[in-house]
Amino acid sequence: MASSLGSAHPGSSFFHNKKDLSLSVVPPTSQLSIYKCKKPFSKNIVMATTTQQSERKPATTGSLKAPMTMTEKILAKASEKSGVKPGDNVWVNVDVFMTNDISGPGSIGIFHREFGKNAKVWDHEKVVVIPDHYIFTSDERANRNVDILREFSLEQNIKYFYDIKDLSNFKANPDYKGVCHIALAQEGHCRPGEVLLGTDSHTCTAGAFGQFATGIGNTEAGFVLGTGALLLKVPHTLRFVMDGEMPDYLLAKDLILQIIGEISVAGATYKSMEFVGTTIESLNMEERMTLCNMVIEAGGKNGVVPADSTTFKYLEDKTSVSYEPVYSDAQASFLSEFRFDISNLEPLVAKPHSPDNRSLARECKDIKIDRVYIGSCTGGKTQDFLAAAKLFLASGKKVKVPTFLVPATQKVWVDIYTLTVPGSGGKTCSQIFEEAGCDTPASPSCAACMGGPKDTYARMNEAQVCVSTTNRNFPGRMGHKEGQIYLASPYTAAASALTGYITDPRQFLH
């Protein structure tokens, strides 16, 4: 059995490591790919072998090098080694380091304490500082944390600091972006083949661009700030093959909820998750980001989607830095492989209080809800709002519960007010939301996805039932400890808002 690789981009460059020419013998790792076709528990999913392979990528490496997966190749390149295998501890050079207002001050504190008060960061153009978590609040400490970021960025001459000073009007801050992971993508900091580390667990979102991206803590961040490198262990890779045409009622959120429900919240601990298949290739960048965003919810170290024409097109106008995508070798070994036939998937929710508490949306139709939240790095991007708007348009009705909309970044906010929804006769998303009775789109930030200070917009301050497009539903996640959070796709969230109960979006989409 051979694995199908990502589609080949005709103009893409292949990964060459010039150092391996000096190696006489490199004992290859097992030439056989390790497969384990996992039987699903849900009978809705039919495991099927692919009937046709997508175009097989020619070998990208010299014949002496052991075949490696994408993640292994990226780490090998970043650690200047010819080859690595899972389990190796390697010192990796970091291409981009990101921090935000939650962990930034702590990391900065450690950086100064360990490297000295006058120390400089290893590369002031590779550090991206993005305040996004607790911004629009009167909490003094939260505001002080943004000031700390500003002080640091000025002192270090940080090139990319997306500052905000005027909290009453986000539009008055031209630099301010919003949610860090979306900002990174929109500003072109995510590039195939690179290593991106961030002080936030959802840094894995950037894996959608075919790079190694994972979250680290303050102490390691301090270390990276000073040295530009980190000791990482090369993870095994789990491969998820998804083939079939994406039904029009499914979104990437349903796919990842399916996967997490399959392998559990610890199913991918210390492992890399690689997403391939025709379905993945058909997803746009933001959908791929949603997919990789919740890799951490399965315990995964990082997620990767092979870069292809969609990726390159997205990056065209965003970055001028050259990059070198890498792709898994045909003979690379994967720890396990999971195959999904998408045509049999149905919209899902993750019930409280765990992202792997998977259930079909239609089986939860008796659960009454109190509010709906559409936002966050998982479900607050332009495509997510377009999807919600599409469903509201299709139904033509008004929402029955308070529906909070929080665009992830300024750009998303602008898109909501300018992009027209297909089939609406020229109406923008914002108009459709208004007609449906949703709350006005709020200032872009992480807002209530993780609760935050008590005055955070849309925070759950009472024990309520909420359907949200966010990524976690652990107890107390959105504020109140007894709050019940159902994770869902924007379609499902919008559909549920219209009925006041958890609703399968197929009720409105035909």
In the complex, the residues that contact other proteins under the rule CB under 8 A are 102-103, 105-106, 108-110, 113-114, 116, 133-134, 139, 141-142, 144-145, 148, 199-201, 203, 215-220, 222-223, 226-227, 265-266, 269-270, 296, 299, 301, 354, 450-454, 472, 474-477, 479, 481-482
Please tell me the number of Cα atoms within 13 Å of 317 on its side-chain side: 2
Closest approach of other proteins to the CB of residue 130, in Å? 15
Closest approach of other proteins to the CB of residue 210, in Å? 21
End-to-end C-alpha distance for the chain, whole angstroms: 38
Closest approach of other proteins to the CB of residue 326, in Å? 23
Closer residue to other proteins in complex, CB, 399/485: 485
Closest approach of other proteins to the CB of residue 286, in Å? 22
Closer residue to other proteins in complex, CB, 470/499: 470
Peptide bond connecting 353 to the previous residue in cis, omega within 30 degrees of 0: yes
Closest approach of other proteins to the CB of residue 463, in Å? 11
Closer residue to other proteins in complex, CB, 114/125: 114
Q: Is 405 helix (H, G, I), strand (E, B) or coil?
A: strand
Please tell me the number of Cα atoms within 13 Å of 301 on its side-chain side: 18
Q: Residue 307: name the closest of 187, 197, 208 by CA.
A: 208
How crowded is residue 510: how many other Cβ atoms within 10 Å of its Cβ? 7
DSSP codes, 55-66: PPPPP-S-TTSP
Contact 286, 384 (CB under 8 A): yes
Closest approach of other proteins to the CB of residue 199, in Å? 7
- Show Cβ contacts of residue 130 under 8 Å, excluding neighbours closer than 6 positions: 98, 99, 100, 162, 177, 180, 183, 184
Distance CA 211, CA 213 (A): 6
Closer residue to other proteins in complex, CB, 33/214: 214
Closer residue to other proteins in complex, CB, 134/404: 134
Q: Is 195 helix (H, G, I), strand (E, B) or coil?
A: strand
Closer residue to other proteins in complex, CB, 67/106: 106
Helix axes 285-293, 382-395, angle to 10 degrees: 100
Closer residue to other proteins in complex, CB, 147/245: 147
Closer residue to other proteins in complex, CB, 15/486: 486
Closest approach of other proteins to the CB of residue 353, in Å? 8
Contact 305, 268 (CB under 8 A): no
Distance CA 129, CA 114 (A): 20
- Strand ranges across the sheet with 160-161: 160-161, 127-129, 96-99, 195-198, 212-215
Closest approach of other proteins to the CB of residue 474, in Å? 4
Closer residue to other proteins in complex, CB, 180/416: 180
Closest approach of other proteins to the CB of residue 7, in Å? 31
- H, E, C per residue of 310-330: HHHHHHHCCCCCCCCCCCCCC
